[in-house]
Structure 1
């Protein structure tokens, strides 16, 4: 295949933030256009025909990742696509209130429906409680753990297809997903049970992923800022030193106000 044909095939655009400032898995074999179409479908675009948009329309999506301005799909970009990440689509709200999805109350309940392999329920409960406190520490939100499955936020560990239309894919790949307030499954937080969940840098740190997914359940979409916990791609940081970025605090307070606000706006 000639260079010109390859260029024509692989010129495309993506709405994917750059994620190269932290360790990444070894580069995978370049898989080409079929892989890209399959990748875009769940994360960015609602129809597989969308990659056929006019070049002018697609260009607006390429800027966050194509820092060199080449417009070419290269192995660096494909490597970014292969990094473990959240399964919530980027750049859109799946909500009946897409402009400002949020809970219209300050007291929320949460429940842990089941647990991952190899972790004690008490350990998981402590991790989830810690992740929730990250958000409550900067907002008026108050959380109470309950045993009922009718809690506002329900956290569970699921495998493969699990009834919500967003299947997991086994180890690696998609780590979890969550549903925004006012969506059909509001408050539901699902983790891929096939992952190696841990309290350290082995496998995937449950505390870090929980903060991210709970952020979605409170109404936050993904961020293009790689320092934000709402950045879609997973990267490890020391949980003992973790703190929300200024952007994370600003965005959650835009929804619920500051810690000592008297009411949810």
Structure 2
């Protein structure tokens, strides 16, 4: 397994999602050369890029480096360009597992030849109480044993099947090493003798384990075996269908649990009564949010991709009520009287904050919708039948607001559930309907079903 115990800010966080985590620190934007160097190192670590393949790689139109980039982009569901575009760079900066992304479940790693396994905690981290470490590790094993025929028992001396240890730098006889804070977070080894099956955590992290059972990485971002780090509370969402399918394909299902996991109920994309909680643009995409889910739409493409919000932003709550992309390519998400600012896949430090820091009176308890005009740098916030205008540059509310929505947006007389801009037009949503509004003519052009963007 890959159990990760990231536990400084949260009492006990189990991250059963990686063979532990190879992470590149999130660095400030610098020269492209530094990002290229990072990408080369990433591909060498996780996609078998050879050192002699990189010498002229950036100067060729077709080269081994570009091919490895394409493989990596395809694995993570990115647009396959073979280039170090912004989305690719964001992915390589995410904390992740130290095991290469080779194969899917059951394809490359053998399992244990026995269902009853032992584990031993060799040492402890000073960041946590010993009892908390023990409970976290016990809980992590229970997550897997609850859906498979595996059982785990702890021993206190001698050699266990799975030896769990904390270390830093070059540690013991391990062939891998740790490189300090925010580098390699940890690693695990596939089943077998000797070091095989063992799990190591980097003591230089602030400390929170899965390849040790024989599972390789999944490209399902909801799975615990997805290589990139994301916070998951095992008490709320322990294993995805892909995780369970993988472990059961090796060891069989637990006699005490159903073979198939309960799946969260999915919203029906082409339901004529479909409505949305919030909508935002994100670079070239439009994201439609509802409950725990979002649809990703690339204009001019026919298919909408349904995902969990937690796939992209694990720390966001479900039921986001408003969202918009600002002039700095950041996305702001609102729920109740709080908001989060997202840059790429990261929540900026210090968030969530109360909406009154934007200039709203304390009587305003929630935002219904928001949209930023990137040309003017002004953001309109819709609350009930009124709207406020916010200056992104001065970070203050414009004077003489709020105003009545219907006065400045004729034909939009109802509460706005969501709004976004595309090709110069505004699209206002309420319930299962949307209104296409021409801001130059100041009139509604068309009335459509809310899910018309989904090719229904």
Query: Normalization by structure 2: what TM-score?
Result: 0.44
Work out the CA distance in 1 between the residues paired with 2:197 and 2:29: 35
In structure 2, the partner of 1:232 is 227
Structure 2, unpaired ranges of 5+ = 1-24, 58-62, 257-456
Cα separation, 2, equivalents of 1:28 and 1:41: 22
Q: Within 5 Å, which residues of 2 pair with 1:122-201?
A: 122-162=131-171, 163-182=173-192, 185-197=195-207
What is the aligned length? 220
**Structure 1: distance between partners of 2:26 and 2:235:** 24
Look up the SS of the partner of 1:85 in the other structure.
coil
Match of 1:40 among 22, 43, 49: 43
Does the aligned pair in 2 maintain the 1:27–1:79 contact within 8 Å? no
On the 8 A contact 1:180/1:217 being kept in 2, the answer is yes
| 1:165/1:258 CA distance change after superposition, 3 Å | same
The Cα shift of 1:99 comes to 4.1
Equivalents in 1 of 2:161, 2:79: separation in Å? 44
Deviation at 1:90, TM superposition (A): 1.3
> How big is the shift at 1:63?
2.4
Structure label with greater radius of gyration: 2
Shift of 1:65: 4.2
Structure 2 vs 1, CA of residues 25 and 110 (structure 1 numbering), >3 Å: closer, same or farther? same
Determine the structure 1 residue equivalent to 2:128: 119
Q: Render the CA deviation track for 1:98-134: whole Å, top value 9, x for unaligned.
A: 7451110111100001111221111100100000000
Is contact 2:149-2:252 (8 Å) kept?
Answer: yes
Report the TM-score when normalising by structure 1: 0.74
Structure ranking higher on relative contact order (CA contacts 8 Å, 6+ apart): 1
- Deviation for aligned residue 1:148: 1.8
Structure 2 match to 1:219? 214
Quick check: 181-190 or 146-155, which moved more? 181-190
CA distance, structure 1, for counterparts of residue 165 and residue 199 of structure 2:
6
Unaligned stretches of 5+ residues in structure 1: 1-23, 198-205
Contact 1:28-1:79 at 8 Å conserved across structures: no
Whole-Å separation in 2 of the counterparts to 1:126 and 1:108: 17
1:26 CA drift (Å): 7.2
Aligned equivalent of 1:243: 238
Cα deviation for residue 237 of structure 1 reads: 2.6
2:52 aligns to what? Answer: 49
